[in-house]
Amino acid sequence: MQKLYILYDAQCPFTLRYRHWLGDQPSFVPLEFIPFQSPELVAQFEGIAAYGTKAQLLVINNDGGVYQGPSASIICLFALKEYRDWAMRLSAPNLLPLATEAFDMLASGGKEIARWLSRLDDTELINVLSYEACRQSNQRQQPERTATPLKP
Protein backbone atom coordinates (compact mmCIF):
# COMPACT_ATOMS: atom_id res chain seq x y z
CA MET A 1 0.00 0.00 0.00
CA GLN A 2 1.77 3.14 -1.25
CA LYS A 3 -1.14 5.47 -1.80
CA LEU A 4 -4.89 5.70 -1.17
CA TYR A 5 -7.44 7.48 -3.31
CA ILE A 6 -10.42 8.53 -1.23
CA LEU A 7 -13.55 9.15 -3.26
CA TYR A 8 -16.15 11.17 -1.40
CA ASP A 9 -19.52 12.77 -2.03
CA ALA A 10 -18.94 16.54 -1.81
CA GLN A 11 -22.71 17.09 -1.53
CA CYS A 12 -23.07 14.88 1.53
CA PRO A 13 -22.20 16.77 4.76
CA PHE A 14 -21.09 13.54 6.47
CA THR A 15 -18.57 12.36 3.88
CA LEU A 16 -17.37 15.92 3.35
CA ARG A 17 -16.63 16.17 7.06
CA TYR A 18 -14.78 12.81 6.99
CA ARG A 19 -12.74 14.03 4.04
CA HIS A 20 -11.63 17.14 5.93
CA TRP A 21 -10.88 15.18 9.09
CA LEU A 22 -8.80 12.64 7.14
CA GLY A 23 -6.94 15.48 5.44
CA ASP A 24 -5.95 16.92 8.82
CA GLN A 25 -4.51 13.69 10.27
CA PRO A 26 -0.88 12.58 9.92
CA SER A 27 -0.87 9.51 7.65
CA PHE A 28 1.53 6.66 6.78
CA VAL A 29 0.78 6.90 3.05
CA PRO A 30 -0.29 9.88 0.91
CA LEU A 31 -4.06 10.29 0.63
CA GLU A 32 -5.60 11.78 -2.49
CA PHE A 33 -9.14 13.07 -2.19
CA ILE A 34 -11.42 12.89 -5.21
CA PRO A 35 -15.01 14.20 -5.13
CA PHE A 36 -17.59 12.12 -7.03
CA GLN A 37 -18.71 15.45 -8.48
CA SER A 38 -15.63 15.75 -10.72
CA PRO A 39 -16.26 13.13 -13.44
CA GLU A 40 -12.88 13.52 -15.16
CA LEU A 41 -11.09 12.50 -11.92
CA VAL A 42 -13.49 9.65 -11.18
CA ALA A 43 -13.03 8.41 -14.76
CA GLN A 44 -9.45 7.47 -13.78
CA PHE A 45 -10.94 4.36 -12.22
CA GLU A 46 -12.60 2.17 -14.80
CA GLY A 47 -15.71 0.43 -13.47
CA ILE A 48 -16.06 2.47 -10.28
CA ALA A 49 -19.69 3.36 -11.08
CA ALA A 50 -20.70 -0.19 -10.12
CA TYR A 51 -19.96 0.62 -6.46
CA GLY A 52 -22.44 3.51 -6.28
CA THR A 53 -21.42 7.06 -5.53
CA LYS A 54 -24.03 8.55 -3.21
CA ALA A 55 -23.29 9.59 0.38
CA GLN A 56 -20.38 7.28 1.09
CA LEU A 57 -16.62 7.03 1.10
CA LEU A 58 -14.98 4.70 -1.41
CA VAL A 59 -11.30 3.97 -0.95
CA ILE A 60 -9.09 2.72 -3.79
CA ASN A 61 -5.52 1.58 -3.22
CA ASN A 62 -2.68 1.93 -5.73
CA ASP A 63 -3.38 -1.57 -7.09
CA GLY A 64 -7.01 -0.68 -7.87
CA GLY A 65 -8.49 -2.54 -4.88
CA VAL A 66 -11.80 -0.97 -3.84
CA TYR A 67 -12.89 -0.75 -0.21
CA GLN A 68 -16.50 0.03 0.58
CA GLY A 69 -18.62 0.33 3.74
CA PRO A 70 -16.98 -0.84 7.00
CA SER A 71 -13.81 -1.90 5.14
CA ALA A 72 -13.46 1.62 3.73
CA SER A 73 -13.64 3.02 7.27
CA ILE A 74 -11.04 0.52 8.46
CA ILE A 75 -8.61 1.16 5.64
CA CYS A 76 -8.89 4.93 6.24
CA LEU A 77 -8.05 4.45 9.94
CA PHE A 78 -5.24 2.07 8.97
CA ALA A 79 -3.65 4.79 6.85
CA LEU A 80 -3.54 7.23 9.80
CA LYS A 81 -0.56 7.26 12.15
CA GLU A 82 -2.62 7.80 15.28
CA TYR A 83 -5.46 5.43 14.41
CA ARG A 84 -3.78 2.28 13.01
CA ASP A 85 -4.40 0.57 16.37
CA TRP A 86 -8.09 1.25 15.88
CA ALA A 87 -8.07 -0.30 12.40
CA MET A 88 -6.51 -3.48 13.81
CA ARG A 89 -9.04 -3.63 16.64
CA LEU A 90 -12.13 -2.89 14.52
CA SER A 91 -11.21 -5.55 11.96
CA ALA A 92 -12.13 -8.28 14.48
CA PRO A 93 -15.25 -10.15 13.26
CA ASN A 94 -17.47 -8.94 16.12
CA LEU A 95 -16.56 -5.27 15.61
CA LEU A 96 -16.28 -5.17 11.80
CA PRO A 97 -20.03 -4.55 11.18
CA LEU A 98 -19.82 -1.46 13.43
CA ALA A 99 -16.63 -0.04 11.89
CA THR A 100 -18.55 2.72 10.08
CA GLU A 101 -20.08 3.97 13.36
CA ALA A 102 -16.69 3.76 15.07
CA PHE A 103 -15.11 5.77 12.26
CA ASP A 104 -17.88 8.35 12.54
CA MET A 105 -17.35 8.74 16.30
CA LEU A 106 -13.56 8.93 15.97
CA ALA A 107 -13.76 11.43 13.12
CA SER A 108 -16.30 13.73 14.73
CA GLY A 109 -15.73 13.26 18.47
CA GLY A 110 -12.19 14.57 18.84
CA LYS A 111 -9.33 13.21 20.93
CA GLU A 112 -11.28 12.99 24.19
CA ILE A 113 -13.91 10.68 22.69
CA ALA A 114 -11.20 8.58 21.02
CA ARG A 115 -9.40 8.17 24.35
CA TRP A 116 -12.62 7.25 26.12
CA LEU A 117 -13.58 4.71 23.42
CA SER A 118 -10.15 3.10 23.59
CA ARG A 119 -10.67 2.41 27.31
CA LEU A 120 -13.84 0.36 26.66
CA ASP A 121 -13.69 -3.41 26.33
CA ASP A 122 -15.22 -5.10 23.29
CA THR A 123 -18.70 -5.62 24.79
CA GLU A 124 -18.96 -2.02 25.98
CA LEU A 125 -17.68 -0.76 22.64
CA ILE A 126 -20.25 -2.83 20.74
CA ASN A 127 -23.02 -1.39 22.97
CA VAL A 128 -21.90 2.18 22.42
CA LEU A 129 -21.52 1.74 18.66
CA SER A 130 -24.86 -0.04 18.24
CA TYR A 131 -26.59 2.75 20.16
CA GLU A 132 -24.84 5.28 17.95
CA ALA A 133 -25.89 3.37 14.80
CA CYS A 134 -29.51 3.42 15.99
CA ARG A 135 -29.42 7.13 16.82
CA GLN A 136 -27.90 8.00 13.46
CA SER A 137 -30.34 6.01 11.38
CA ASN A 138 -33.18 7.87 13.18
CA GLN A 139 -31.48 11.21 12.59
CA ARG A 140 -30.82 10.60 8.92
CA GLN A 141 -34.42 9.64 8.24
CA GLN A 142 -35.74 12.91 9.65
CA PRO A 143 -34.27 15.45 7.18
CA GLU A 144 -35.24 13.30 4.19
CA ARG A 145 -38.90 13.55 5.13
CA THR A 146 -38.78 17.33 5.58
CA ALA A 147 -36.75 17.77 2.42
CA THR A 148 -39.32 16.23 0.09
CA PRO A 149 -41.87 19.08 0.08
CA LEU A 150 -39.14 21.58 -0.86
CA LYS A 151 -38.57 19.93 -4.24
CA PRO A 152 -40.01 22.05 -7.09
Q: How many residues does the chain have?
A: 152
Among 22, 31, 57, 75, binds other proteins (CB under 8 A): 75
Among 11, 88, 94, 108, binds other proteins (CB under 8 A): 88
Q: How far apart are CA 127 and CA 92, in angstroms?
A: 15
Q: How far apart are CA 83 and CA 77, in angstroms?
A: 5
Q: How far apart are CA 55 and CA 53, in angstroms?
A: 7
- Judged by CB under 8 A, the number of residues near other proteins is 32
x/- site string to other proteins, residues 16 to 45, per CB under 8 A? ------------x--------------xxx
For position 74 contacting other proteins by CB under 8 A, the verdict is yes
**3 state DSSP class of 109:** helix
For position 76 contacting other proteins by CB under 8 A, the verdict is no
For position 53 contacting other proteins by CB under 8 A, the verdict is no
Among 25, 33, 51, 133, binds other proteins (CB under 8 A): 51
User: Which residue, among 60, 49, 71, 72, has the nearest Cα to 1 in the 3D structure?
Assistant: 60
* Residue whose CB is less far from other proteins, 14 or 51: 51
What are the Cα distances from residue 102, in Å, to 9, 27, 43, 136? Answer: 20, 18, 30, 12
Contact residues: other proteins, CB under 8 A: 1, 3, 28, 43-48, 50-51, 60-71, 74-75, 78, 84-85, 87-88, 91, 96
